[in-house]
Amino acid sequence: MVGASDGEYRPLPGGELLNAMFYGLDAGVLVVDSEARILVVNPRASEITRLAQERFLGADLHDLLHREEDGSAAPRDRCPLLAALRAGVPTRTQGAWFRRGDGSLLRVGWLMAPYLVTGERAGAVVTFFDLSEQEEEARRRDAHLAALRRRAERLSLVSEITTVLTSTLDMREALRRLVRLVAPRLGDWAVVDLLGEQEEVVRVAVVHYENGTHVNVAELEGRLPDRVSWESRSPLQRVLRGAPALFVGPEHYAGEPDSAIQGAQKDLFRTTGMHAAVIAPLRGGRGVMGALTVGRADQEQPFDREDLALVDDIARRAGLAVDNAQLYDRQRRVSETMQLHLLTPLPRVPGLAMAARYLPAPEGSQVGGDWYDAFVLPDGAATLVIGDVIGHDLQAAANMSQVRNMLRAFAWDVREPPCQIVDRLDRALVTISDAPMATLVLCHLERGESGPWQLTWHNAGHPPPLLIPPEGAPRFLEEGHGLLLGTQAENERTNATVPLPADSTLVLYTDGLVEAPGQPLDTGLERLRGRALELAGRPLGEFCDRLLAEVAPEETADDIALLVVRAP
């Protein structure tokens, strides 16, 4: 039907309608008799099959067109169209092959409907469609989905690697985790080389993924011979000198090696059997830190540009992690050296035994605001200090050093009771120190000519010392308590004094020993009291070690200082 210009409805005449359906239909149409001989063919069928119309007329449809997928003749007894024609029932299929006039094969789907003449079955109308475009579209869609899946997998890999590299500051552990993610998802071999300060190359990880298992090939690890050569054309040395990521294969090592490292690389490719590899630089903020090599020996396909870009991105992330880990390690070594200077050896005091321990925070920089100190005044009195400046990093350590040194100077300059020394330190702290706040216990230990040792102390906001007598229950020395340092508040400080009987033990400690996240302080104090009593008969060194191991919380973010004195 058509619409007139004035909107009037007018149906097509019968002949025009049939012509439009037969000649204008975007599908091949064949009319066959009961023996499958072609009686009528429309122009579209000729176009699709690339056969002239005269080739159709009178030809057997099955013999002319129907083929197997490999192009061979299809057996007549297995042809669904012929079977349906004989049975006189409609049928359709989505999976048939027709042979075109030029010999090529065409994927088609057909519909067959029988027709009657004077009430008797006379033949059928076969309508078929070219499915090649649909299949090509399906292939494109499948390829697109596969590319999306591949991209998602690679983004997931990059995300996992980023998590692994940022989850630890142990550089070698991070790299060991890295290569186990790279293999087998990008290759079955993964190698990491690090560049040293003197341009030496150390192979820190060689992993092969075989039979579903990661195998660490330790015999291929270690320092490579010689240093990086600036004249060598070796791919590894070019990358270590700053070249971008490279495709590498055995052909790069076919000739005589031009350097010792080139020779080592030649041995690596021969030993591993890698037929293709990508070498990418580990770039950090201070330049190239090393190289990541991903190789394929068991995996047959070569690397492509996407692989190259992905390995380069992974290597860049690894380079930043290596750079950060090396900076952290350098800071840790500085901190350790600083700590050794800050925690001075304990003095020898006749009639007293002393032991001390320092345990850094697990995630700290091996130094912090906790400290202990012990020294002998000119008049022979022993001075003991346990203290804690806010923080556990290098800044806290620097502040702690200032407080410690000022306290030493005040204590040595004028012989005063502990509370007065602490008061002078408190007033000076705000003016001549960068320390924000601090807690400490300052003790004087003096011995009369015939009596026991006398302990005099002042506590500026610090956890109370623990005294373990030779008989009876241990007790915390709660007296002599005042405000912490740095508050600038008016505060009247006082001393407290107790005798230190023979065979008694005095324990000075910082809060990291007794404080745990989500746990009341009293719980930690009671744990300390109980274990200290049980260990009181142990030698001082063992006493300190076991106290740290058995009392300190498993989950703590604080460092711990411990100073123990015993009057034998």
Domain boundaries in the chain?
2-130, 144-331, 343-567
Q: Cβ–Cβ contacts within 10 Å for residue 545, how many?
A: 16
pLDDT, residue 182, reads 82
Q: How far apart are CA 147 and CA 252, in angstroms?
A: 31
Q: Which residue did the predictor score with more confidence, 218 or 335?
A: 218
- For residue 363, how many C-alpha atoms fall within 13 Å in the half-sphere facing its CB? 7
CATH number for the domain running over 343-567: 3.60.40.10
546 neighbors 502 (Cβ within 8 angstroms) = no
- 474-494 confidence digits (pLDDT tens): 999 999 999 999 888 888 899
Give CATH superfamily name and number for 2-130: PAS domain (3.30.450.20)
Lowest mean pLDDT among 202-211, 213-222, 425-434: 425-434
Confidence of residue 370 (pLDDT cuts 50, 70, 90): confident
**Cα 554–560–565 angle (5° rounding)?**
120
Lowest mean pLDDT among 257-271, 325-339, 542-556: 325-339
Average pLDDT, the chain: 85
Lowest mean pLDDT among 139-153, 183-197, 404-418, 424-438: 139-153
Helix (H, G, I), strand (E, B) or coil at 456: strand
Share of the chain above pLDDT 90, in %: 42
- 522-561 confidence digits (pLDDT tens): 999 999 999 999 999 899 999 999 999 999 887 766 788 9
- Answer yes or no: is pLDDT of 362 > 80: no
Q: How far apart are CA 173 and CA 203, in angstroms?
A: 14
Q: How far apart are CA 432 and CA 196, in angstroms?
A: 42
Helices (H) and strands (E) in the chain, counts: 14, 26
- 63-84 confidence digits (pLDDT tens): 999 999 888 998 998 888 899 8
Confidence of residue 419 (pLDDT cuts 50, 70, 90): very high
DSSP code at position 514: T
Same CATH topology for 144-331 and 343-567: the answer is: no
- Answer yes or no: is pLDDT of 364 > 90: no
In 53-159, beta strands by DSSP E:
66-67, 91-99, 105-117, 120-130
- 282-302 confidence digits (pLDDT tens): 888 788 988 999 999 988 899
- Answer yes or no: is pLDDT of 171 > 50: yes
Residue type, 428: A
pLDDT, residue 273, reads 93
- For residue 463, how many C-alpha atoms fall within 13 Å in the half-sphere facing its CB? 25
pLDDT, residue 20, reads 67
- Answer yes or no: is pLDDT of 512 > 70: yes
Phi and psi dihedrals of 402, rounded to 5? -65, -45
Question: Cα-Cα-Cα-Cα dihedral of 361, 366, 368, 370, to 10°?
Answer: 70
pLDDT, residue 1, reads 43
pLDDT, residue 506, reads 97
- Answer yes or no: is pLDDT of 414 > 50: yes
Q: Which two tokens stand for residue 55?
A: 């080739």
DSSP code at position 284: E
- Answer yes or no: is pLDDT of 4 > 50: no
pLDDT, residue 315, reads 86
Question: What does each C-alpha distance from 143 to 114, 134, 137, 147, 149 come to in angstroms?
Answer: 40, 14, 10, 6, 10
Q: What pTM does this model have?
A: 0.53
- Answer yes or no: is pLDDT of 13 > 80: no
Helix (H, G, I), strand (E, B) or coil at 221: coil
Strand partners for 355: 564
- 230-249 confidence digits (pLDDT tens): 888 889 999 999 899 999 99
pLDDT, residue 363, reads 55
Give CATH superfamily name and number for 144-331: GAF domain (3.30.450.40)
- Answer yes or no: is pLDDT of 128 > 80: yes
